[in-house]
Chains A and B, each alone.
Chain A
């Protein structure tokens, strides 16, 4: 069974940094693109970033480009999101997600982790 478990969230001051982790199990992690999606309180879903199986390609939403870095460790079955220069508008629940085997749609999601940016 596919399982995705996020960790590393919490309260951080504006301008600060935080690193999210996603522990993956139940599938061959190195065979899949992985994604981060976020949801601000009471708002809709926003795609944040994608990373290819071998990390050779990465894509970001414009609002985090240059501040956030997606990475992975295939030996540890882990996905990461390094978030720097955090702003209030980055406050959200962050979800780790995996595509289906046969479609780019996101068929598997973690439970989400809350990041709060506030002084």
Chain B
């Protein structure tokens, strides 16, 4: 399954809303899709799993939605620590894949 994320780069200001898209080349089984945030020089951190469940310790400004082939990560109000790269990942089949990433940068 190929995951295509858009846009490649999102230029926004702190406090603004961010909407990130992840489109799959075929339906993701059981909507087994996750979102990760990666800051420079750090390992990725799980934000959302199973499409819409926030991981432990993740604030409620992060939300996930979607089904089948179209998924969305929404950050309601960007905080300084949210300017980073975001990846979606599917784990619905034995061979997992990640999207190519969306960079959220400060406008």
Contact = CB atoms under 8 A, between A and B. Distances in A.
A111 B50 contact: no
A104 B95 CA distance: 12
Contact of A59 (B50, B87, B94): B94
B49 A100 contact: yes
B98 A105 contact: no
A41 interface: no
Contacts of A8: none
Given A44-B98, A47-B96, A47-B97, A95 B91 contact: no
Interface residues of B, number: 25
Contact of B91 (A46, A104, A109, A112): A104
B86 to A, nearest CB: 11
Contacts of A46: 98
A61 B49 CA distance: 21
The winner among A37, A59, A105 for most chain B CB atoms within 10 A is A105
When A and B form their complex, which 10 residue pairs have the shortest distance between CB atoms, in order from nearest? A105-B49, A105-B34, A109-B43, A104-B91, A47-B96, A45-B98, A44-B101, A103-B49, A44-B100, A59-B94
Interface of A: 35, 37, 44-47, 50, 59, 61-62, 95, 100, 103-107, 109-112
Given A44-B85, A44-B100, A106-B36, 16 more contacts: A37-B98, A44-B87, A45-B98, A45-B101, A47-B97, A59-B94, A103-B34, A103-B53, A105-B49, A105-B55, A106-B34, A106-B44, A107-B55, A107-B56, A109-B45, A111-B43
